[in-house]
Amino acid sequence: MYNQITGHTRLCCLLGSPVAHSISPMMHNEAFRLLGLDYVYLCFDTGHADLQTMIQTLREMNVLGFNLTMPDKERVLPYLDDLTSAAAMTGAVNTVKNENGRLIGHNTDGIGYIQSLKDAGYDITGGEMTLLGAGGAASSIAVQAALDQVPALHIVNRRGRSWENANRLAALINRQTGCRADVTDLADTKAVQEVIQKSSLLTNATSIGMAPHAGASPIADPSCFHKDLFVSDIIYNPRQTKLLADAQQAGCRTANGLYMLLYQGAAAFSIWTGQDMPIGDIRDRFFS
């Protein structure tokens, strides 16, 4: 079952803290094995490490590439040589490719999200989108949706920690893409209902619906849900949040966040190897 390590084996890895729970080593090592690629994927906890030294060491070791998770997605930016436009606009990197000694930062969270929608039969260009949240995951999704030509994006957040980021994102998207973006306060129930009513996609990228908020929904009154609304929750634990249960009851099509996780990994795999991850095998093995 394990890959054969040789004198040529190149390293991919995950940096962040904590990392021990990650599914990434399983999915990437199995995909390397299935395609006969001489690479190996490991996890390194950066909790007590100096990130700059770690990145410099990975560069010297000529690794194939690496992933970053919390809290390193933003902290890594000063140590990279270049960024894709999605990573630059988001201000966060989850995948780095070593291109002949140059470290290029990508953000595949948004790509993975849009691919998971396609998989569920939803076309992002088909109508307006309401996005709940303005934290790390929401930023990646907002930027990729705008780059992939969602016509209008309504960002909804409470006036808390990420309120400023919500406004920064909307301004950036309005300036740099053809998408019209605006921001609504989650506490303004009437305005939130109005943006949902004119949307064909509602995405929850807040943490409401998972522990310690499991059983709660960011939309307390689901009466604005209409049958042409696709409701997506990027939470995958639990698989069905209260938001998704309410949406199903209203006759909406729904999807949880499990395949976003799969496809953000698949996008990183393609960036590193130039090959498609054997999605069917990986999905059946780790995501069912």
- Residues found near ligand NDP in the complex (CB under 6 A): 109, 133-138, 157-158, 160-162, 186, 205-208, 210, 213, 234-236, 257, 260-261, 264
- By three-state DSSP, how is residue 250 classified? coil
Nearer to ligand NDP, 27 or 186 (CB): 186
Task: Please tell me which residue in 73, 118, 227, 242 is annotated as part of the active site.
Answer: 73
Distance (Å, rounded) from C-alpha 205 to C-alpha 132? 5
Nearer to ligand NDP, 44 or 236 (CB): 236
Q: In the bound complex, what is the minimum distance in angstroms from residue 59's beta carbon to ligand NDP?
A: 26
Q: In the bound complex, what is the minimum distance in angstroms from residue 234's beta carbon to ligand NDP?
A: 4
> Which token pair is 73?
């997605």
Q: In the bound complex, what is the minimum distance in angstroms from residue 66's beta carbon to ligand NDP?
A: 17
Task: Confirm whether 73 is a catalytic residue.
Answer: yes
Q: 147 — phi, psi (to 5°)?
A: -65, -30
The CA–CA distances, whole Å, from 146 to 26, 173, 175 equal: 32, 7, 11
Contact assessment for residue 66 and residue 40, using Cβ atoms and an 8 Å cutoff: no
Nearer to ligand NDP, 102 or 161 (CB): 161
Nearer to ligand NDP, 89 or 210 (CB): 210
Q: Which of 140, 84, 153 minimizes the C-alpha distance to 114?
A: 140
Residue nearest to ligand NDP (CB): 135
Q: In the bound complex, what is the minimum distance in angstroms from residue 214's beta carbon to ligand NDP?
A: 10
Nearer to ligand NDP, 59 or 213 (CB): 213
Strand segments, DSSP code E, in the chain are 10-16, 39-45, 65-68, 82-83, 95-99, 102-106, 129-132, 152-157, 180-185, 201-204, 230-233, 253-255
Q: 49 — phi, psi (to 5°)?
A: -100, 160
> Which token pair is 30?
């199995």
Q: In the bound complex, what is the minimum distance in angstroms from residue 166's beta carbon to ligand NDP?
A: 8
Residues labelled as active-site residues: 73
